[in-house]
Amino acid sequence: MKFTRLFTVSLLAMTAASPALAENVLRWTSQGDALTMDPHSQNEGPTIAMNGQIYESLVTRDADLTLQPELAESWEAGSDGWTFKLRQGVKFHDGADFTAEDVVFSFERANHEASDYKEQAKNVTSVEVIDDYTVKLMTDGPNPILPNQLTSIYMMDKGWSEANNVTAPQDFKAKEETYAVRNANGTGPFSLVSRAPDELTVLERNAAWWGNDMFPGNIDKIEYRPISNAATRVAALLSGEVDFVLDPPLQDLKRIEAADGLGVKTVAQIRSIFFGMDQGVDKLRSSDVDGNPFKDKRVREAFNLAIDKAAIQRVVMEGLSFPTGMITPPGVLGNTPDNDASYGFDPEKAKSLLTEAGYPDGFSIQLDCPNNRYNNDEKICQAAVAMLAKIGVKVNLDAIPKAQHFPKIQKRESDFYMLGWGVPTLDSHYVFSYLLDGEGSWNATGYDNARVNEITDAITTEIDIDKRTALIDEAWDLVKADIPYVPIHHQVLAWGISDKVDIAIAADDAFRPRFAVMK
């Protein structure tokens, strides 16, 4: 594996210095890099999307989010699991064959304590090998949604992992460094040529990929350079230094559309943006009052009523958001108009609730916020700080890169934090298991409702769609009443793209180069 150390030079100089090694070279950017190349370490959108160009899952989604075969050609449900027929003749990038043995290994790895996919993978109790190209994923009873849960559980080569001492996933929150963090060996359409985190990642077309004759993509080489500064990202697109910007600043979309040879695509994303409040600890870490105000539901309601989501939509998001009262968007089973409705905006009532709860003068607290992950993430946090100040809550904003922000949440070190959550399964179980179950790995609120936990377990085996939907609705009604989060909005995506390349925008914000065509 070749590593590249970039010197601090302008993006233009870097681009000019890159030799044209392939006929169709796509250069693109966004504000933040993938967190790791270890495919089981971090369940984070840009990381999943980057690794999904190199690694593959048994089942995938196309740009319309329709389930499609990938390393499995077909699958069939049973009362105790699902049987998958594997694609034959598939090779890893190092030439090793992909077989059932790699499926067994990959699910064991994804179920490891350090894995950020264990909430999805744990539904597979074991993998039964029927033959080299047939496996049965065993489950505790029938599982109606298992294929939906597999789209980001990537398959790794057992031999390569053993040879490079990476049989366990990287422990990201402990800042562990392993061979799999900067090296990769998948079966996908692109192989990793070089990796300089936060600077440059180069991918090259896999000439031996099984799908080369099945998909329209004609990209030979991909150069990805994260650019944290919003103005610089736009300048790179306007000047032609990059062909595609995943997250152009919303205020610059009209300028991009007006430029010759450029265009903008938008779509409602399957992602919700919200604030978490740690109501589980006895004393907040960053507050000037004793105890934990968030344990009182009136305080949590006050925070919801104090933040004007419509103003954030209008002023901060340039209209590209949908204010909400729940942390899952339309298009996901479980979203209903009643629960999607915002808690409202009523600062006077918010102040009254704080007074009733024993905080007539408010209190102070720190808000942890990423500054390179979501659309206008830091600006949303700044707006919330100003709004909470009007009800007497003094908020200290700590906006940091996502690589430092996310471990604070996973290690339960944050009192009050921003998070966004996409739902690749299009099913509420994904939200419940990670964010609302008492043991969910991303539930840093301490929320633990026994009935919601019970429903989370029950809907993994309930195959009657009406009964299952009723259980999901019941859980969301309980969550809406308990107010463990401050839902802000569902995000709208906007991509800035050169006319030289045809890229289909997807509601999960994932770039799928197998469908990208350079003209």
Q: Identify whether residues 34 and 137 lie together within a single domain.
A: yes
Q: Identify whether residues 304 and 443 lie together within a single domain.
A: yes
Q: What is the pLDDT of residue 476?
A: 98
3-state secondary structure 100-140: HHHHHHHHHHHCCCCCCCHHHHCCCCEEEEEECCEEEEECC
Decide: pTM greater than 0.85: yes
- 3-state SS class at 172: helix
pLDDT < 70 stretches in the chain: 1-22
Comparing CA positions, the residue from 38, 82, 11, 29 lying closest to residue 172 is 38
- 3-state SS class at 498: strand
- Is the distance from CB of 415 to CB of 284 less than 8 angstroms? yes
- Is the distance from CB of 43 to CB of 152 less than 8 angstroms? yes
Q: Identify whether residues 208 and 279 lie together within a single domain.
A: no
- Is the distance from CB of 323 to CB of 491 less than 8 angstroms? no
Q: Identify whether residues 308 and 397 lie together within a single domain.
A: yes
CA distance 247 to 236: 12
Q: Which residues lie closer than 8 Å to 32 by C-beta, 6 or more apart?
A: 46, 226, 228, 372, 373, 401, 402
Q: Identify whether residues 354 and 488 lie together within a single domain.
A: yes
CA distance 360 to 285: 21
Q: What is the pLDDT of residue 483?
A: 98
Q: Identify whether residues 348 and 414 lie together within a single domain.
A: yes
CA distance 334 to 270: 13
Looking at the DSSP bridge assignments, the partners of residue 306 are: none
Q: What is the pLDDT of residue 90?
A: 98
CATH number, domain of 367, equals 3.10.105.10
Q: Identify whether residues 365 and 486 lie together within a single domain.
A: yes
CATH number, domain of 97, equals 3.40.190.10
Q: What is the pLDDT of residue 199?
A: 97
Q: Containing domain of residue 190, as a range? A: 11-243+500-518
- Is the distance from CB of 181 to CB of 38 less than 8 angstroms? yes
Query: DSSP letters of 323-388?
Result: E-SSSS-TTSBT--HHHHS-----HHHHHHHHHHTT-TT--EEEEEEESSSSTTHHHHHHHHHHHH
Q: Identify whether residues 434 and 506 lie together within a single domain.
A: no
Segment 458-501, tens digit of pLDDT: 999 999 999 999 999 999 999 999 999 999 999 999 999 999 99
Q: Identify whether residues 93 and 228 lie together within a single domain.
A: yes
CA distance 496 to 197: 23
Start-to-end CA distance of the chain, whole Å, equals 31
Q: What is the pLDDT of residue 438?
A: 94
Q: What is the pLDDT of residue 240?
A: 97
Q: What is the pLDDT of residue 112?
A: 97
Domain tally for the chain? 2
Q: Identify whether residues 304 and 356 lie together within a single domain.
A: yes
Q: What is the pLDDT of residue 475?
A: 98
